[in-house]
């Protein structure tokens, strides 16, 4: 057991040593975090975790191809998510989507993301999923940003009612290193 814990701790430390961005978002019922690692100037990996008091928790991993066009930043790619839901069945999805950021000037940026998983890319009891997120971020300095946003994650099922896994406003911080 001690060996497994030491390996897990070592793996976590090596991930954070390579991470370029760390985000932490929170509201009354949900905490979310993600680590972004830039593989090269046009590709990145993002690993995330979300815990909800009422709905359960999820882990995710995404791979994006990115493109910068002046004030616009685009990322497109697949995102794997596994859900351990309290009020509905567990399952996994491979969603297609991406992220978009618009630099508004004065250290303010509009950031959005959208992912969709049709039933053919959904496994376990989940028959589909969509995730929408939007936030405004103020860059305090090159290493720290503060943001406020809204997120909606919905799971779809064949033989039971669909479930809103997360829906609400949140605040948070972003660290770049």
**Domain residue limits at 139:** 21-176
Strand pairing category for 21-26 and 108-117: unpaired
Instruction: Tell me, yes or no, whether 108 lies in a domain.
Output: yes
pLDDT tens per residue, range 76-107: 999 999 999 888 889 999 999 999 999 999 99
Instruction: Tell me, yes or no, whether 132 lies in a domain.
Output: yes
Instruction: Tell me, yes or no, whether 10 lies in a domain.
Output: no
What does pTM read for this prediction?
0.87
For tokens 């930043």, the residue is: 73
Instruction: Tell me, yes or no, whether 8 lies in a domain.
Output: no
CATH of the domain at 67: 2.40.160.40
The total of structural domains in the chain comes to 1
Instruction: Tell me, yes or no, whether 2 lies in a domain.
Output: no
- CA separation, residue 87 to residues 43, 52, 78, 160, 163 (Å): 36, 11, 26, 11, 8
Provide the pLDDT for residue 11. 56
Instruction: Tell me, yes or no, whether 11 lies in a domain.
Output: no
- Number of CB atoms found within 10 A of residue 160's CB: 11
User: Can you give the pLDDT of all 177 residues of the chain as single tens digits?
Assistant: 556 555 554 555 455 445 699 999 999 999 999 999 999 999 999 999 999 999 999 999 999 999 999 999 999 999 999 999 888 889 999 999 999 999 999 999 999 999 999 999 999 989 999 999 999 999 999 999 999 999 999 999 988 888 899 999 999 999 998
């Amino acid at each position: 057991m001690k060996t497994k814990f030491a390996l897990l701790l070592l793996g976590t430390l090596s991930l954070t040593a390579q991470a370029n961005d760390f985000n932490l978002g929170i509201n009354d019922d949900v905490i979310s975090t993600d680590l972004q690692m830039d593989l090269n100037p046009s590709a990145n990996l993002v690993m995330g975790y979300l815990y909800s008091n009422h709905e359960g928790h999820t882990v995710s991993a995404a791979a994006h191809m990115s493109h910068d066009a002046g004030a616009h930043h685009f990322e497109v790619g697949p995102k794997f998510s596994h859900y351990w839901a309290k009020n509905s069945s567990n399952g996994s999805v491979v969603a297609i989507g991406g992220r978009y950021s618009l630099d508004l000037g004065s250290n303010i940026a509009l950031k959005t993301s959208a992912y969709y998983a049709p039933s053919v890319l959904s496994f376990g009891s989940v028959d589909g999923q969509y995730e929408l997120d939007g936030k405004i971020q103020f860059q305090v300095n090159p290493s720290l940003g503060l943001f406020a946003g809204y997120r909606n994650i919905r799971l779809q099922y064949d033989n039971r009612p669909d479930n809103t896994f997360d829906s609400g406003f949140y605040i948070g911080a972003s660290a770049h290193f």
